[in-house]
Amino acid sequence: MEGINLNQIGVSFKGSGSYVPNQILTNHDISEKVDTSDEWIKSRTGISQRRISGLEEDVSQMGYKAALKAIKMTNWDIETIDLIILATSTPNDLFGSAPSIQEKLGANNAVAFDLTAACSGFLFAAITASQFLKTGSYKRAIVIGSDQLSSYVDWNDRRSCILFGDGAGAIAIEATNEFDNLIGFDMRTDGQRGCFLNLSSQNNQDVIVNNINCSTGGFSSITMNGQEVYKFAVREVPLIIDNLLKKNKYSSENVDWLLLHQANKRILDSVGDRLNISKGKILSNLSNYGNTSAATIPLILDEAVRNNKIKQNDVIATSGFGAGLSWGAALIRWG
């Protein structure tokens, strides 16, 4: 679908899909590699196991499978999709993995590109896509979060390797001139605190010829100051959600679901307490998947939609946060 339609004022959330790899890595498995225990990991994080992509899998394959399920929920003709945004920090092609998802889907009329904002990536991508739809530039968008952090985790670092897993999720968003189900949003970055969580380039040097030097490609493993990231999350996430609710004249009682980036169970509980949102409204699948970075939010959203927890018109307060440091929140109505 093409063309500017200035009557398009809002967006509607039409479908969701997700995919996780088959390989399961339990806390017990990890305790065979580093000095930790199932009890420690569960009590400090809420995580019991995580999925690890197989050798034949990558970000675009996982993203493709999630996107296909989201599209099936909508009954859209693939040719009518205008925009595909893939949120990922672990593309299988640094020039962009979204084009190969477009190719696999056969979505020939869609422009497709990657967006990187770590664990905030999916939220930032969904907000970005919604702007194209609200301006009337595009009609239908697929937003995917897919990450394969297992390739970059230092599996000898017990302070971080316990947290992460692989997976993908996707949603289908459509422009509409009847209402706006993206009620409000806010996005933030603080590069000064960026040093607390990184997946940096290795900065190895090479000589091209004579005195001309260059840095060679390649990335180091994830480095993380867990305590600082924890403090950041429990301080900033309730603040940004609280401000968003107030700005849109909502209170926590109007929220049906609190859907946070799944980083740590204690972070979920703390944010819920500060916002006065009861435990029954806080979605959590951390125990099964750990932190799947950009995939986390659409993965748990899709689970909740498919098992009929999230219903049409439910109000969801969602927040993504992580490396950058970056964080954001959106208030949406499902459907």
Distance, CA of 268 to CA of 119 (rounded, Å): 15
Q: Which CB sits closer to ligand COA, 163 or 316?
A: 163
42 binds ligand COA (CB under 6 A): no
Of 173-202, binders to ligand COA (CB under 6 A) are: none
Q: Is 44 among the residues that bind ligand COA (CB under 6 A)?
A: yes
Q: Would you say 122 or 185 has its CB closer to ligand COA? A: 122
Sites for ligand COA among residues 271-330 (CB under 6 A): 291, 322
DSSP tag of 56: T
The Cα 150–Cα 166 span in angstroms is: 7
Catalytic residue, candidates 92, 161, 261, 288: 261
Place of tokens 């009337």: 136
Min dist. Cβ of residue 112 to ligand COA (A): 25
Residues 242-271 that bind ligand COA (CB under 6 A): 263-264
SS3 call for 106:
coil
3-state class (DSSP) for residue 196? helix
d(CA 146, CA 166): 8
Residue 187 in contact with residue 161, Cβ under 8 Å?
no
Q: Which of 27, 92, 119, 264 is catalytic?
A: 119
Annotated active-site residue 28? The verdict is no
Which of 136, 184, 226, 335 is close enough to bind ligand COA by CB under 6 A? 226
d(CA 33, CA 281): 36
The CA distance from 191 to 166, in Å, is 25
Q: How many residues bind ligand COA (CB under 6 A)?
A: 19
Q: Please, are residues 23 and 51 in contact by the beta-carbon 8 Å criterion?
A: yes
Out of 16, 36, 60, 88, the only residue in the binding site for ligand COA (CB under 6 A) is 36
CA distance 206 to 183: 51
At closest approach, how far in Å is the CB of 45 from ligand COA?
Answer: 5
Contact pattern for ligand COA over residues 54 through 93, marking x by CB under 6 A: ----------------------------------------
Residue 145, helix vs strand vs coil: strand
User: In angstroms, what is the minimal distance from the CB of 70 to ligand COA?
Assistant: 23
Contact 262/289 with Cβ under 8 angstroms?
Answer: yes
Which of the residues are catalytic?
119, 261, 291
Which residues here bind ligand COA, judged by CB under 6 A? 36, 40-41, 44-45, 119, 158-159, 162-163, 224, 226-227, 229-230, 263-264, 291, 322
